[in-house]
């Protein structure tokens, strides 16, 4: 009975967590198909006549959403690819190297990721103004890398450290170079970790508001900025706000669900390192 009670309590907790996380998302998606009268109704309406007017409004008119989506895909995608690529190289080098102060270097790398965004916006703004990176997609990519790259190096270091060096040594005995052993042995074996790192970097970049608000311009603004523009002094366009929220959230949920098996494996792969 005692074990059954613990199981019931566990399932009850899981249901509560699911309700806490899933219900707001479902309500947002449903609200994106409601008319204005249904949205502001005093009594929440679960049954209503759906409409696509909110989505149509987002993709028509002077501030069509297409450009914002393109900017988000470019900034988030390019920064993620660069961060994961350099993170794999640096993480592998850090995992396989032996020198005095290695632990301090590792901590210094991740400490740059621990800094709050507000602490780096002003220095980055000064640097970007000097390099003419303000109001450009390239500037957003560099801004996202300041947080994604240290994170990718730290995570990939843990994954590679958990990988037995003997596997690469066997490949080098068979004639492979160090880079060949890294490319043909280490990378394939840590593929779940690479995928996990890429997804986490992509989610951060896709959802970012602070960097996009500070460094982007009319031609490089991303989806979170488009959502904020629906909140004006004259009122809030709740229908389009729910629609754009759905557009922002659903791709990341779809990506997470598509690779959830590898995501779980990747999150646990480097949990205990060989250090």
Structural domain harbouring 233: 53-269
Task: State whether residue 231 is helix, strand or coil.
Answer: strand
Q: How far from the centroid of its chain's Cα atoms is residue 173's Cα?
A: 39
Please state whether the predicted TM-score (pTM) of the whole model is above 0.95. no
Q: How far apart are CA 134 and CA 217, in angstroms?
A: 7
pLDDT at 60: 84
**Structural domain includes residue 44:** no
Of the ranges 171-185, 186-200, 261-275, which one carries the lowest mean pLDDT score?
261-275
Position 221 confidence tier, pLDDT thresholds 50, 70, 90: very high
Residues in the chain, how many?
A: 275
**Structural domain includes residue 207:** yes
Number of independent structural domains in the chain: 1
Q: How far apart are CA 268 and CA 162, in angstroms?
A: 11
**Structural domain includes residue 103:** yes
Question: If you average pLDDT over residues 110-137, what whole number do you get?
Answer: 89
**Structural domain includes residue 30:** no
**Structural domain includes residue 152:** yes
Q: How far apart are CA 21 and CA 104, in angstroms?
A: 38
**Structural domain includes residue 3:** no
**Structural domain includes residue 141:** yes
Please report the DSSP string for 69-91 in residue order: HHHHHHHHHHHHHHHHHHHHHHH
**Structural domain includes residue 105:** yes
- List the CATH number of the domain containing 244: 1.10.3720.10
pLDDT digits (tens, 9 = 90+) for 98-122: 888 777 787 888 787 788 888 889 9
Q: How crowded is residue 29: how many other Cβ atoms within 10 Å of its Cβ?
A: 15
pLDDT digits (tens, 9 = 90+) for 173-183: 888 898 999 99
Q: Which is more confident, 110 or 123?
A: 123
Task: Check whether 272 has a pLDDT greater than 90.
Answer: no
């Amino acid at each position: 009975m005692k074990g059954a009670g613990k199981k019931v309590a566990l399932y009850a907790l899981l249901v509560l967590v699911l309700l806490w996380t899933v219900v707001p998302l479902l309500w947002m998606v449903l609200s994106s198909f409601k008319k204005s009268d249904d949205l502001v109704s005093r009594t929440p309406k679960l049954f209503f006549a759906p409409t696509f007017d909110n989505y149509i409004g987002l993709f028509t008119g002077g501030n069509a959403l297409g450009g914002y989506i393109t900017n988000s895909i470019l900034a988030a995608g390019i920064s993620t690819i660069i961060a994961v690529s350099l993170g794999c190289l640096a993480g592998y080098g850090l995992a396989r190297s032996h020198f005095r102060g290695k632990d301090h270097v590792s901590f210094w790398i991740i400490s740059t990721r621990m800094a709050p965004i507000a602490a780096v916006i002003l220095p980055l703004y000064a640097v970007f103004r000097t390099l003419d990176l303000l109001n450009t997609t390239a500037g957003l990519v560099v801004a996202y890398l300041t947080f994604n790259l240290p994170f990718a190096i730290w995570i990939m270091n843990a994954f590679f450290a958990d990988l037995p060096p003997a596997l690469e040594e066997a490949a080098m005995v068979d004639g492979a170079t160090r880079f060949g052993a890294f490319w043909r042995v280490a990378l394939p074996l840590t593929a779940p970790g690479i995928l996990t790192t890429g997804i986490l970097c992509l989610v951060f970049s896709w959802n970012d508001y602070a960097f996009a608000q500070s460094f982007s311009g009319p031609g490089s603004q991303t989806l979170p900025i488009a959502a904020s523009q629906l909140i004006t002094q004259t009122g809030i366009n709740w229908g389009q706000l729910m629609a754009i929220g759905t557009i922002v959230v659903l791709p990341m949920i779809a990506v997470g669900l598509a690779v959830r098996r590898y995501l779980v494996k990747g999150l646990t792969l480097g949990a205990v390192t060989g250090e």
